[in-house]
Amino acid sequence: MMDNNFSLARACEPFFRIGAAVSPRVLRERGDLIRQHFNSLTAENEMKYDRIEPEEGHFRFEQADEIVAFARGMGIKIRAHAPVWHNQTPAWMYRDGDRPAPPEMIYERIDRHTKAICERYGGDVYCWDVVNEATRDGAPGPGEDPVYRDSDYFRLCGPAFIEAAFRSMDRYAPDAQLFYNDYSECVPEKRERIVSLIRDLKEKGCRVDGVGMQQHHFAPPDYDEIKRSIEIYASMGLRIHVTELDISMMAVLNTGAVRLRPGDDGFEEYIREAARADEGTLSRIGDIYVRLFGIYRSYAGVIDCVTTWGVSDDRTWLDHFGVSRGMPFVKQHPLLFDESGQPKPFLRRLTGNADRPEK
């Protein structure tokens, strides 16, 4: 057993904060573990648009309040995620009666929403993921923008909704850091789009303090591209947070460089191998974590926080991500703590220390 006095947060204090994405349920189930090992919290879903303002002007703060109250009890502040995102935004945002909403109406709605959440939580937030995942995946189709995702926001406003979101957040949260957050942030083509988006905001005079590198791994990490990406973002004067770290079973069983989907060559083999995963397979997830944390520590001068997207393996979005009817269930083991909430054997190695012998 690991020494009960060990705290991952304390061990990582010379380098960066250690955070986790949580829900009220996870706080109730894993509260002691969270208090011992983490010193930053992110609301997994409870501060997204559809949870806080499901109907225009009608706010539901109860679930977010639980997370903020828990953080206050720990004496810490939170990373707030993510008020402007193409997913989990209610349909009313994009409508003006039976017509599409004009851009000015959308900007006003973003501003009112931002004002409301900042007035309620401003003193409890050290960082906002102001806009989430606004760059496109892959090459553009006919008539599509080469940089920006073809979302409802973009179709109605162009990229100006991103500028509006950052200007509103800067107005109402002047003391918090403002971040842009995205995935596949180390893939060169996607990284170029993220750089272009942030550079455009800065040229327009928007305050952008940092970039959130999500770090969801569905294939073996390209460690050189991770280091190159950190250096590129840092060269822009940005602080860096690892915001949604987890390691899918696919990262140790997938021989390719991208996430496998049903029908892809190798997908059925992955399912078979994952279904009979043993301790040797699971230990390879730990090896990836150790190598990633070695990189994060080496860039501690620009990385301020590393957050896992979840606390323990019993509750992880990856167990249900990409699962369709008829597919065998594959239990993922993507986090730092197992299904019982116990630290995994590699945990001490994340700080550069060897594991103590098991007792």
Active site residues: 133, 244
CA distances from 46 to 75, 174, 206, 259 (A): 20, 22, 26, 27
Under a CB-based contact definition with an 8 Å cutoff, are residues 253 and 271 in contact? no
CA distances from 167 to 5, 115, 123, 178, 302 (A): 44, 11, 19, 10, 24
Q: Which helix (H) or strand (E) holds 293?
A: helix 279-298
Q: What is the b/e burial string over 103-118, where b = at least 16 CB atoms within 10 angstroms of the residue's CB?
A: eebbbebbbebbbbbb
Which distant-in-sequence residues (6+ apart) come within 8 Å of 122 by Cβ? 172, 173, 175, 176
Using DSSP bridges, classify how beta strands 216-217 and 239-247 pair: parallel, antiparallel or unpaired. parallel
Phi first, then psi: what are they for 51, rounded to 5°? -80, -40
**Best CA proximity match to 315, nearest among 21, 108, 65, 96:** 21
